[in-house]
Amino acid sequence: MRKYQQEVVLYPYKIMAVDDDGGILDSLKVVLNKNGYSLDTYTNPLDAIEVLKKEHYDLLLLDFIMDPLHGDQVVEQIREFDKGLYILLLTGHKDLAPPLETLKKLDIQGYCEKSSDFEQLLLLIQSGLKSVDQMKLINKINDELADKNDALEKSYLDTIGILRQTVEAKDPYTRGHSDRVSAYSVLIGKKLNLDDKTLHTLKIGGLFHDIGKIGIPDSILLKESKLDDNEYSQIKNHPSIGAHILGNVEMFSDIIPIVLHHHERFDGHGYPSQLKGEDIPYVARIAAVADTFDAMTSKRSYRNALPLDTVKEEIKRCEGTQFDPAIAETFLSILNNDYDEILNIQQKNK
């Protein structure tokens, strides 16, 4: 017996068993220990749930008929905070097994009828832990790919960021403009309860919305007097130039609509595509409000920043013509009720 115990190799898995019959738990612990598994046991399912909230386990053995909660009720609570735990349900008799629909709904990986020899249960545990290993490997690969994608994205952002800074360095009056448009766009997106992915698109799109101005001559960008028709026509090319610069990089595909369409108007009289209403990408409609607000509230070579009341009146006046009315109203609400957030953005991005 001593020789056998010395040869047992402990597996690095955390397994929990929950059953209101302490005798069964004791038997389970002896059998699993002999086969190299460590096991934590609980007779009260409520105690087990609290432990699972705080600690990671690879596999759960769960009795179906228990007090004060049945196994399916326990799983319902567990799935609220842990979608990935591998669960095997134990039943005292085949006729007491839960319906197949219940197993699928609660993502219970399997069930086993209780037996005195535990052979079937050990096979299911071994199979379950192999699945756990496979999922760990998949998650590790996904994490590594995500890290590489994050690094690649950072590299591209840094490179394009240099171009963006080159544009803004040409004109001291527009310095910080893209950072503010980015922050205003995210602020609007949050007030509209948009998801994190869309907020990220608004953030990056705002930063690079004017990247196309790298292709506009300095003589036009820095001109202090009114632009003539030919010069204005060249300025209107910057969205298309920007979309072309970023168009070959797949990870920037989500922000192309902002870069290309932030000068479209809700009435269809904008540029470059004369899109109208909801044909304009939603993120571009948000960026358009943010971009115009920053233009009106920033000092230019030919004028001072406009007073806030004048800016609000102009945004209100342009609802339904230049701006999406709902987005404009959301931004007006921010200006009226949360103006401190606007001031914070302006102070951080002077």
Q: Clarify whether residues 342 and 279 are in a common domain.
A: yes
Of all residues in the chain, the percent with pLDDT exceeding 70 is: 85
Question: CA angle 69-74-78, nearest 5°?
Answer: 155
Q: Up-side HSE of residue 88: CA atoms within 13 Å toward CB?
A: 24
Q: Looking at the domain assignment, is residue 301 inside a domain?
A: yes
Q: Of the given ranges (78-87, 138-147, 228-237), which has the lowest mean pLDDT?
A: 138-147
Q: Looking at the domain assignment, is residue 146 inside a domain?
A: no
Q: What is the mean pLDDT of residues 212-236?
A: 80
How many domains is the chain partitioned into structurally? 2
**Phi-psi sector, 168: left (phi>0), alpha (psi -120 to 50), beta:** alpha
Q: If 0-12 CB within 10 Å is exposed, 13-18 middle and 19+ buried, where does residue 9 land?
A: exposed
Give pLDDT tens digits for 251-301: 788 999 999 999 999 999 999 999 999 999 999 999 999 999 999 998 876
> How far apart are alpha carbons 316 and 153 in whole angstroms?
38
Q: Looking at the domain assignment, is residue 136 inside a domain?
A: no
Peptide bond into 281 cis (omega under 30): no
Q: Clarify whether residues 72 and 206 are in a common domain.
A: no
Q: Looking at the domain assignment, is residue 166 inside a domain?
A: yes
pLDDT value at residue 6: 46
Per-residue burial over 110-140, b = 16 or more CB atoms within 10 Å of its CB, e = otherwise: ebbebeeebeebbebbeebbeebeeeeeeee
Question: Which CATH number covers residue 241?
Answer: 1.10.3210.10
Q: Looking at the domain assignment, is residue 218 inside a domain?
A: yes
Q: Clarify whether residues 94 and 235 are in a common domain.
A: no
pLDDT value at residue 170: 65
Range of the domain at 264: 155-348
Q: Clarify whether residues 217 and 263 are in a common domain.
A: yes
Confidence of residue 174 (pLDDT cuts 50, 70, 90): low
pLDDT value at residue 1: 38
Q: Clarify whether residues 190 and 274 are in a common domain.
A: yes
Question: Which CATH number covers residue 115?
Answer: 3.40.50.2300
Q: Clarify whether residues 302 and 254 are in a common domain.
A: yes
Task: Name the pTM for this structure.
Answer: 0.59
| Under 8 Å between Cβ of 187 and 348 | no
